[in-house]
Chains A and B, each alone.
Chain A
Amino acid sequence: DAKTTQPPSMDCAEGRAANLPCNHSTISGNEYVYWYRQIHSQGPQYIIHGLKNNETNEMASLIITEDRKSSTLILPHATLRDTAVYYCIVTIMEYGNKLVFGAGTILRVKS
Chain B
Amino acid sequence: DSGVTQTPKHLITATGQRVTLRCSPRSGDLSVYWYQQSLDQGLQFLIQYYNGEERAKGNILERFSAQQFPDLHSELNLSSLELGDSALYFCASSVDAGGSGSGGTDTQYFGPGTRLTVL
Contacts and interface: CB of A to CB of B under 8 A. Distances in A.
B45 A94 contact: no
A68 B35 CA distance: 28
B58 interface: yes
Given A94-B104, A97-B98, A45 B45 contact: no
A92 interface: yes
Contacts of B99: 94-95
Size range of the interface on A? 20 to 34
Contacts of A26: none
Nearest to A44: B110
A44 B90 contact: yes
Given A42-B112, A43-B110, A44-B90, A99 B4 contact: no
B40 to A, nearest CB: 12
B45 A42 contact: no
